[in-house]
Structure 1
Amino acid sequence: MSAGPYMVESWEAGQSITYVANPMWWGTPPASDTVVTRFIGQDAQAQALQNGEIQAMDPQPSPDLLAQLEAIGDSISFEPQDQFTYEHWDFNFDGPFADPALREAFALCIPRQQMIDSLIAPLNPEAEVLNARFVFPFEPQYQEVVEASYADQSEQDIEAAAAILAENGAEGTELRLGHNANPRRAQEAALIVEACGPNGAGFDVQDIGNEDFFEAEGELATGAFDVAQFAWAGSALKSGSSSTFQTDGGNNNGNYSNPEVDELIAQLNAETDTDAQTQLVIDIETILWEDLATIPGFAFPGVVATAADAQGVEYNPSQAGLTWNANEWVRTAQ
């Protein structure tokens, strides 16, 4: 069954889902009778687009992917753009990183700027380190929020991080760095191992990235991590981040808890005045930085690439993603 313009016709596990027009849909009929979603590894998507196996894609961009798309030429179109998604590192508050000293040491060794320079700037030359969680650099209130809430808590200083570990007798503390194993996150993890590991700050960094990290029995859900490296996809609605930082929130994988943050988020969720929202975001961000609840990294550059015969595919910077207007997609004769 379906409440939208399409309904599922068939599903091949790990391969594809086929949607067909819903005969009970009361609105405007979709432009195409059938839409197929294919599951293809990120490293093979550009080739699939070039070969005509797919007509649209929105993978996580990387310099390698951008080079692949550029090499295809005029038979496709694409353009990197901003989106409401950001990379971050969440601590597990039920393990060693309940100790604020260890969180501070990690915040000081993580090479956020290096990640921007090597992995993000080739896609977005104006990219900058993200110093907030509820607002993005392309939003007008971003500078106001950061200037009022951020106090250089995670500017990289490997020597200071090493000193904190030494002062607390914590050299060699195991740090299980969890992530899903896509190419860019593997590169991020390698940079963290170099900066925060034995030859850097002094953690024993274990890269436990794997394809099952997000699964029901994976490390994120079971708490078998010390720092989780992944991204949140959202929108301009500030209430969308609530459950990430509220006590027992559905997205609060690290079990962070602060009653003052809970109260401020409850106020934010009920506030409709944008100026009042900004002040509440400042108050929340200030505490999140004081607690080092999570470390934001960078806003994702987004990219939608389409074949020449794909019409109606439009970029959406929110978590609605590529298929938000799939009912308007159509293939034209070439």
Structure 2
Amino acid sequence: MRASSGVRTGVAVAVLAAITATTLVACGDEDTRIPSIGYAVDNTVTTYNGGTTAGSVSAAPQAFSRALPGFALTAPSGGAVSDTDIGTAVEVPGEQQVVTYTLAAPAVWSDGVPMTCDDIVLAWAARSGRTAADGAPLFDAASTAGYTDIERIDCAPADKVATVTFRSGRGYVEWQSLFGAGTMMPAHVAARIAGVPDVVSTLAGGDQDALRRVADVWNTGWDLTPAEGEDVGTVDPAVFVSSGPFRIESYSVENGLALVPNERWWGVPAATDRVVVWPKGADIAAKAASGDIEVVDADGGTATPDGFTSTAQPSFGVEQLILATSGVFVDPAARRAFAACVPRGELYAQHGHPGYEAETGRGSGIVDSRTTLPATLPYRSVAATAAERYRTPDVAGVTAGLAEAGLTDPVVRVGYLGPDERRAAVVAAIASSCAPLGIEIVDASSPTFSPLALRAGEVDAVLASTAGQAGASGTSSADPGRFALRGGQGVNVGGYANGRLDELIDRLAVDQSDATVLSAAVEAENILWTDMPTLPLYNAPRVTAVASGMRGVQSNPTVAGAGWNMDKWILVG
């Protein structure tokens, strides 16, 4: 059963209102407010566009959810709740799923250009996988989940209303998450840079050269590289326009990514004058001591700075080993052999729940399903498919797998974004377990590591969370994890493909009744435990730490991270 838009709107308003009320009560004295807040995240910031494959595995969702808001945001509960500052999304009753999206009348980009349905159409064109040339998608979208099920969007250029019609029989269950925070890039900027009149008519016209230029802008036109040296790293405000309470001002290695209030924002103004995002690599302890960082949103193994108050919890994301389907792992038997030497039980016990003890649900044990989430009703039955295999090293399983794959003394390079003490310890533990069984493990981490290295053949496995995320990850929907295993998805960095699994994933996207989830997910897990494209470990641990005087920060164990409500943050001296 789908929750109504009205119900979700009420939840969102209640959540945000409660946070605002708390901060205002606690910080009534305006003279004590400090105008700048430092926010440390445990991932890189390489692009403004989190919808690209590279952007989806970056910290874009943590950094830009309040610079590029949408019709929904991902709340700490894990679900999508309406953001009515941007507009309303209403499902129209009928046999075929139809959703009407109406942008708020005052909604404008930070350059003064109104937000229109053109922005919605661009998001659909980019994320649906349908805009193609020579059989290949032009847009490098991380995932097509939900957007590929849209049959058409009725939109008159520059209008505020878009009518989205889904294909018959393909009503997307998680439709409230579509066109959410970070999904709608400025269509007028893409059109200007691409040299086309507007996105809607260009997409309808079918001019391949014009379409390719629009796609090129969407793919790389919003890439971000921090300036070095004394360069303040001013970011072009005509290109990196904002639709939220914050906009990007500058980005440099020395001074971080500076977000400042968007003067054209029509909603409640940001509560602080400046938030500086410090990507992975910043010396958190030193910057916390110097007063440059007041909020830390990081991996559960991250040390809490002196004087900070921390909250540790399991995220909705699942820590996992994503395996190549080429090179040393071209044969599924080789992947099974590797899985058989990974001490999953030991890894959970030592690294899977730092700072908290969950008796049930998320964080309470080894995760044995890729298609359902712990704490959901079907999980226990679906997870039983694993039959508690691959929990402790299995000498016979390793020997048989290597023999079947024809491998002798294979070397497995495991990559992850470093430095990361917890993941380094995990890889070391795997190496210690696998070495006596004839598999050599090499730690292939680096400060610039991207899961795309797996696709390029530079590593054999990636240690990351759901959909390859090094940092914040996951939602209360299993779709992100499922689509990361679907053939042809950008975020499917291992290149795994199984036609029957694709059918099951597509079925689960439109039918999540208990009976369907049980039957489809059990079949899917049987396929996955045989093919072994990934090996799930446990819910990725997260920690949110705040300095004394911080108000309004609410930890969010999802892909949105603590930055989901940064416009409510206040620092009191």
What is the TM-score normalised by the length of structure 1?
A: 0.87
- Residues 14, 224 of structure 1: CA spacing in aligned structure 2 closer, same or farther, 3 A cutoff? farther
Which residue among 27, 40, 49 is the counterpart of 2:267?
Answer: 27
Give the SS at the match of 2:430: helix
- The residue that corresponds to 1:229 in the other structure is 463
- Residues 139, 81 of structure 1: CA spacing in aligned structure 2 closer, same or farther, 3 A cutoff? farther
- Residues 143, 14 of structure 1: CA spacing in aligned structure 2 closer, same or farther, 3 A cutoff? farther
Which residue among 435, 444, 454 is the counterpart of 1:220?
Answer: 454
CA distance in 2, matches of 1:209, 1:189: 10
Give the SS at the match of 1:106: helix
- Residues 137, 237 of structure 1: CA spacing in aligned structure 2 closer, same or farther, 3 A cutoff? closer
Q: List aligned pairs for 1:54-65, cutoff 5 A.
A: 54-62=293-301, 65=302
Unaligned runs of 5+ in 1: none
- Residues 121, 8 of structure 1: CA spacing in aligned structure 2 closer, same or farther, 3 A cutoff? closer
- The residue that corresponds to 1:81 in the other structure is 313
The answer on 1:325 being equivalent to 2:565 is yes
- The residue that corresponds to 1:178 in the other structure is 415
- The residue that corresponds to 1:157 in the other structure is 393
CA distance in 2, matches of 1:88, 1:294: 7
8 Å CA contact 2:411, 2:442 repeated in 1: yes
- The residue that corresponds to 1:312 in the other structure is 552
- The residue that corresponds to 2:54 in the other structure is none
CA distance in 2, matches of 1:166, 1:141: 34
- The residue that corresponds to 1:37 in the other structure is 277
- The residue that corresponds to 1:106 in the other structure is 338
Which residue among 358, 373, 388 is the counterpart of 1:136?
Answer: 373
- The residue that corresponds to 1:202 in the other structure is 438
CA distance in 1, matches of 2:402, 2:280: 46
- The residue that corresponds to 2:531 in the other structure is 291
C-alpha displacement at 1:167, in angstroms?
Answer: 3.6
Give the SS at the match of 1:88: strand
Structure of higher CA gyration radius: 2
- Residues 122, 229 of structure 1: CA spacing in aligned structure 2 closer, same or farther, 3 A cutoff? closer
Report the AA paired with residue 526 of structure 2. Answer: T
How high is the sequence identity, in percent, across the aligned residues? 28
CA distance in 2, matches of 1:61, 1:303: 5
- Residues 143, 167 of structure 1: CA spacing in aligned structure 2 closer, same or farther, 3 A cutoff? same
CA distance in 1, matches of 2:324, 2:552: 43
CA distance in 2, matches of 1:55, 1:193: 36
- Residues 254, 9 of structure 1: CA spacing in aligned structure 2 closer, same or farther, 3 A cutoff? same
- Residues 48, 40 of structure 1: CA spacing in aligned structure 2 closer, same or farther, 3 A cutoff? farther
CA distance in 2, matches of 1:165, 1:282: 23
- Residues 184, 28 of structure 1: CA spacing in aligned structure 2 closer, same or farther, 3 A cutoff? same
Per-residue CA deviations over 1:131-189 (Å, capped at 9, x if unaligned) read 11233334444223212x32233232342244225644523122222222222111111
C-alpha displacement at 1:97, in angstroms?
Answer: 1.3
C-alpha displacement at 1:294, in angstroms?
Answer: 0.8
Report the AA paired with residue 379 of structure 2. Answer: Y
- The residue that corresponds to 1:90 in the other structure is 322
- The residue that corresponds to 2:219 in the other structure is none
CA distance in 1, matches of 2:512, 2:441: 43
CA distance in 1, matches of 2:474, 2:528: 18
Per-residue CA deviations over 1:217-272 (Å, capped at 9, x if unaligned) read x6234122222222222201222224311111111111111101111111112225
C-alpha displacement at 1:279, in angstroms?
Answer: 4.2
CA distance in 1, matches of 2:412, 2:354: 30
Give the SS at the match of 2:326: coil
Per-residue CA deviations over 1:193-229 (Å, capped at 9, x if unaligned) read 11112xx2101333222222207xx623412222222
8 Å CA contact 2:370, 2:482 repeated in 1: no
The answer on 1:187 being equivalent to 2:421 is no
- Residues 39, 292 of structure 1: CA spacing in aligned structure 2 closer, same or farther, 3 A cutoff? closer
The answer on 1:280 being equivalent to 2:553 is no
Per-residue CA deviations over 1:81-105 (Å, capped at 9, x if unaligned) read 1211121112211223121221111
CA distance in 2, matches of 1:141, 1:308: 42
- Residues 27, 279 of structure 1: CA spacing in aligned structure 2 closer, same or farther, 3 A cutoff? farther
Unaligned runs of 5+ in 2: 1-240, 359-363, 467-472
- Residues 24, 238 of structure 1: CA spacing in aligned structure 2 closer, same or farther, 3 A cutoff? same
Report the AA paired with residue 476 of structure 2. Answer: A
Report the AA paired with residue 61 of structure 1. Answer: G
Bigger relative contact order, structure 1 or 2, given CA contacts below 8 A and separation 6+? 1
- The residue that corresponds to 1:119 in the other structure is 351
- Residues 272, 110 of structure 1: CA spacing in aligned structure 2 closer, same or farther, 3 A cutoff? closer
8 Å CA contact 1:165, 1:171 repeated in 2: no
8 Å CA contact 1:14, 1:39 repeated in 2: no
CA distance in 2, matches of 1:224, 1:316: 33
Give the SS at the match of 2:465: strand
- Residues 192, 13 of structure 1: CA spacing in aligned structure 2 closer, same or farther, 3 A cutoff? same
- The residue that corresponds to 1:302 in the other structure is 542
8 Å CA contact 2:412, 2:439 repeated in 1: yes
- The residue that corresponds to 2:65 in the other structure is none
- Equivalent pairs, count: 320
CA distance in 2, matches of 1:47, 1:220: 33
CA distance in 2, matches of 1:186, 1:29: 42
CA distance in 2, matches of 1:166, 1:275: 38
What is the TM-score normalised by the length of structure 2?
A: 0.52
Q: CA RMSD in A?
A: 2.3
Report the AA paired with residue 344 of structure 2. Answer: R
